[in-house]
Each structure stands twice: as C-alpha cells, then as structure tokens.
Amino acid sequence: MTEWQGNIRRASTTDAAVVTGILAEAFMRDPVSGWIFPADDHRARVHPAFFGPFVALALRTGEVHVAGDGLGATLWLPVGDDHGADEGDEFAELEATIGPDAMKRFGMLDEQMSANHPAEPHWYLPFIAVHPAHHGKGVGSALLRDKLAELDRAGTAAYLEASSARNAALYERLGFQRRPTTLDLPDGPSLYPMWREPA
C-alpha cells in the first residue's frame, strides 16, 4: 500500500464539528460501538453526540490531528505525572444524550479501560478514525506515524486499545506490542491493550 502523502495538521476548536463527524461515521461499523449501541438507527442518531465530548476533551487537554480536509483524525491525551483524568464537564450530559442503556454499557467499558490503563507517563490514543470513503489509502498510518515520530524524538511512550485483532496487526507494524491482558466485554467483543516504547 502506498503511503498517503497529504497534509496533517493540529486541529483547533473550529475543527470540532468536522472531527466529530469523522469519528461518528468511521465507527458506525466498529465492534465496540456496535456493542454500546446495538440498534443501527440509534447508533447513527447519537454517535455525533457521543463522540463530541471526547473531541472537546482532547482539544482542551491534549491534541487532535486532522489529515487533509477531513479524511481522518486522531485524538491524543497526555497521561502521567502532571497529566491525569481531567474530564472537566464535557461528559456531564452524556447519559441524557445517549440514553441509560448505552450509558450503562459505556460505563462497563470505561471501568475496564480505566482499571487496565498503565500508570507510566505516555500519550494515549483513545480514537483514530478514517472516513470510510478513504479507507485503504494509508491515511491512518500517516496520522499515526506523524505523532509517533514526535513521541520518538521526545522519548515518550504511547498506549491504545485496539478494537479488533486486524487493527492490532496494523499497530504492531508501527511498533506497538500487545499487553498480556485483553478487555472482554460481556457478550461482546474484546479489546487489545497495546504499548509502544519510543524508538
């Protein structure tokens, strides 16, 4: 596959709606999202509201990167000594927006993710998304390589949870290694925690 050669830039608050739209579209067929929102019509309806707070949090406390004019995006959050679980009030309205059943399932996922999250300083990638119309063009790899090169220069580790074995294989090619545990959702998919030491 040829590597996508377009422009990657740091997003600002003016990009929030575009980034939220990329995430909402890209995760429509994701196994974890399908577990949180089992009904397709409900998922399509609430996805933008679900991803909005994550985008707002990353814009406020971390970094959001955008490929091209909206082909894909990454959300990065710093974790470590001087960075923590600073959720602010971005998530205050989430249950009212997505409904109690989805909120309960998301809570179960969040609990597992939090319990297994490494304590060492690192940058956390909660979401990487490429618009479905641009899959297979190397956009996702280019987005990852862009930030990972910066982390290598700084000597900083990275962490993520892959939502499928196929995705995990892509991350392994970029230097991530599977951790010994998987996050297994009740009657649902598994996530694969992955850690990357700086190259």
Residue ranges per domain, the chain? 8-196
Question: What confidence tens digit (pLDDT) does each residue in 16-44 have?
Answer: 999 999 999 999 999 999 999 999 999 99
> In the prediction, which pLDDT does 19 show?
97
Please report the DSSP string for 160-184 in residue order: EEESSHHHHHHHHHTT-EE-S--EE
CA 151-156-160 angle, to 5 degrees, is 85
As a whole number of angstroms, the distance between CA 38 and CA 110 comes to 17
The CATH homologous superfamily of the domain defined by 8-196: Gcn5-related N-acetyltransferase (GNAT) (3.40.630.30)
Predicted pLDDT of residue 180 = 93
H-state helical runs in 37-137? 40-61, 94-98, 100-115
Percent of the chain exceeding pLDDT 70 equals 95
As a whole number, mean pLDDT of residues 77-102 equals 81
pLDDT score, position 86: 57
For the chain, what is the mean pLDDT? 92
For 88, left (φ over 0), alpha (ψ -120 to 50), or beta? left
